[in-house]
């Protein structure tokens, strides 16, 4: 059934693509856009995890590019922000390209689904925002990983061009959560200035927006330094330095044999940690003081940027969601990182192997061997 839904969605996209045409222009060509580079491009190389065969490796690196693009900023007058993903239009209603997606552009698919009903008449009914507005939103920004790695760094980009205290409102994801507000507060954003994206859209007297700080899965190195600079250090609220993160309350990417795995890890002193409801500072502290982390692939692993170099990390990755984002963070941070793939049957079509809903089953013997190897490599405690 899942394969049928994916096929129907892709066929629907092709059909709509042939029927619609939306006015677009590159940010670099817009008159009066003040489009400029803030941080330069960075080269990037990714090593191959030992657990991946040739097919898995092909999927794992499918979205990777050898260079992280430069971070850029646009400054527009009388500009519109429209749609759940906060697409930007100039005063004439022309969509601005060159600022989104993993390669720094809006894809054809996103144009159709997000912008198909846009018109000047509809843009005329949006809410007007006086003063200066900074856009802190994009595709899937409501996901915690993307918010931490692709939204928060936009504050650092914007700060190179304007005093953040001079910004009158910040447009954030529609589902801006308490944890997101918590993190924005740590960065000095006044809660009264937060404007979650609404259905009608906004017309901004002066609008500032940035490009994606990095490709879909690769945060630039400067992002780590910025995030660490705004999050104060605190003692970890959990006792164990061996932590297990399992997504037991999540609707997707569930660990099918969770009880068996939790019992196995408890025998090695692991504490099953739930991050839900904890302040961001405490969540960061748990990772900062951990020695060994076993975690099912999920957004909470965004906190790996706070873990010390040399931290042992074992990521449990569904066979049908061979995603590289946390492996990349682990490499950048100098973690001793390994991956265990689920034992479930893989999809035959590589394109469908990035299934965000994929559950997994972990081989206990494989995990036991990996944990024992990691523990043996830990430095002796005084």
Residue 27 has a pLDDT of: 85
pLDDT category of residue 9 using cuts at 50, 70 and 90: low
Q: Are 127 and 198 in contact (CB under 8 A)?
A: yes
Check pLDDT > 50 for residue 17: no
Please report, for the domain that includes residue 302, its CATH number.
Answer: 3.40.50
Residue 90 has a pLDDT of: 87
DSSP secondary structure, 257-275, as one string? THHHHHHHHHTTT-EE---
Helix (H, G, I), strand (E, B) or coil at 210: strand
Check pLDDT > 90 for residue 66: no
Alpha carbon distance 166, 239 (integer Å): 42
Check pLDDT > 80 for residue 57: yes
Check pLDDT > 60 for residue 215: yes
Which domain-ending residue is among 172, 196, 230? Answer: 230
Is the same domain home to 166 and 34? yes
Of 17-21, 41-45, 55-59, 282-286, the least confident: 17-21
Is the same domain home to 252 and 329? yes
Mean pLDDT (whole number) for 321-333: 88
285-297 burial, b at 16+ Cβ within 10 Å, e below that, comes to: bbbbbbbbbbbbb
In a domain, 21, yes or no: yes
pLDDT category of residue 267 using cuts at 50, 70 and 90: very high
Is the same domain home to 214 and 263? no
In a domain, 249, yes or no: yes
Is the same domain home to 22 and 166? yes
Residue 112 has a pLDDT of: 43
pLDDT category of residue 350 using cuts at 50, 70 and 90: low
Q: What are phi and psi of 288, to 5 degrees?
A: -65, -35
Check pLDDT > 80 for residue 218: no
Q: How far is CA 381 from CA 241, 312, 347, 371, in A?
A: 12, 15, 44, 18
Please report which helix (H) or strand (E) contains residue 2, including its range: helix 2-19
Helix (H, G, I), strand (E, B) or coil at 352: helix
Is the same domain home to 256 and 277? yes
**DSSP type of residue 149:** I
Check pLDDT > 50 for residue 301: yes
In a domain, 251, yes or no: yes
DSSP secondary structure, 22-51, as one string? --EEEGGGSTT---EEEE--EE---PPPTT
Residue percentage of the chain with pLDDT more than 90: 50
Contacting residues for 228 by C-beta, under 8 A, at least 6 apart: 305, 306
Residue 63 has a pLDDT of: 63
In a domain, 348, yes or no: yes
Give the tokens for residue 126.
Answer: 């949006």
Check pLDDT > 90 for residue 370: yes
89-134: pLDDT as tens digits: 888 878 887 776 544 444 544 454 445 445 555 666 788 999 999 9
Residue 209 has a pLDDT of: 95
Check pLDDT > 60 for residue 78: yes
Specify the higher pLDDT residue, 202 or 350.
202
Is the same domain home to 300 and 224? no
- 100: alpha, beta or left? (left if phi > 0; alpha if psi -120 to 50): beta
For the chain, the average pLDDT equals 84
In a domain, 1, yes or no: no
Is the same domain home to 224 and 279? no
Residue percentage of the chain with pLDDT more than 70: 84
Give the tokens for residue 76.
Answer: 């527009």
Mean pLDDT (whole number) for 27-50: 87
134-193: pLDDT as tens digits: 999 987 888 888 899 889 999 999 999 999 999 999 999 999 999 999 999 999 999 999
Check pLDDT > 80 for residue 281: yes
The domain of 369 spans 242-377
pLDDT category of residue 21 using cuts at 50, 70 and 90: low
Alpha carbon distance 81, 382 (integer Å): 57
Give the tokens for residue 54.
Answer: 């040739």
In a domain, 6, yes or no: no
Looking at the structure of the chain, the number of domains it has is 2
Is the same domain home to 261 and 150? no
Of 4-13, 103-112, 290-299, 359-368, the least confident: 103-112
């Amino acid at each position: 059934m899942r394969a049928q839904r994916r096929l129907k969605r892709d066929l629907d996209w092709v059909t709509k693509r042939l029927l619609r045409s939306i006015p677009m222009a590159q940010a670099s060509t817009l008159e009066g856009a003040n489009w400029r580079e803030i941080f330069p491009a960075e080269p990037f190389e990714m090593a191959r995890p030992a657990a991946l065969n040739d097919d898995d490796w092909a999927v794992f690196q499918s979205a990777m590019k050898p260079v992280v693009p430069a971070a850029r900023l646009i400054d527009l007058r009388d500009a519109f922000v429209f749609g759940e993903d906060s697409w930007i239009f100039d005063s004439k209603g022309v969509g601005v390209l060159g600022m989104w997606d993993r390669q720094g552009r809006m894809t054809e698919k996103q144009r159709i689904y997000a912008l198909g009903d846009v018109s000047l008449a509809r843009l005329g009914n949006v809410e007007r925002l006086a003063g200066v507005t900074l856009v802190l939103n994009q595709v899937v920004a409501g996901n915690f990983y993307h918010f931490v790695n692709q939204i928060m760094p936009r504050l650092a980009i914007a700060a190179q061009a304007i005093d953040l205290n001079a910004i009158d409102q910040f447009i954030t994801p529609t589902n801006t959560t308490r944890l997101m507000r918590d993190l924005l507060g740590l960065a000095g954003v006044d809660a009264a200035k937060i404007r979650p994206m609404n259905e009608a859209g906004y017309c901004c007297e002066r609008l500032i927006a940035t490009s994606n700080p990095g490709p879909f899965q690769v945060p630039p190195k400067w992002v780590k330094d910025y995030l660490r600079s705004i999050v104060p250090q605190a003692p970890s609220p959990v006792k164990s330095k061996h932590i297990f993160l399992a997504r037991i309350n999540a609707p997707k990417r569930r660990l099918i044999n969770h009880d068996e795995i939790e019992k196995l890890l408890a025998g090695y002193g692991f504490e099953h940690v739930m991050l839900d409801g904890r302040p961001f500072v405490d969540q960061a502290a748990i990772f900062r003081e951990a020695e060994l982390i076993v975690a099912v692939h999920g957004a909470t692993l965004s906190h790996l940027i706070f873990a010390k170099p040399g931290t042992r990390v074992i990521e449990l990755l569904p066979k049908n969601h061979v995603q590289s984002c946390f492996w990349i963070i682990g490499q950048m941070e100098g973690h001793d990182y390994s991956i265990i793939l689920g034992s479930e049957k893989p999809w035959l079509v590589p394109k469908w192997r990035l299934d965000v809903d994929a559950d997994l089953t972990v081989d206990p013997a494989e995990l036991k061997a990996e944990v024992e190897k990691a523990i043996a490599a830990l430095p002796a405690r005084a």
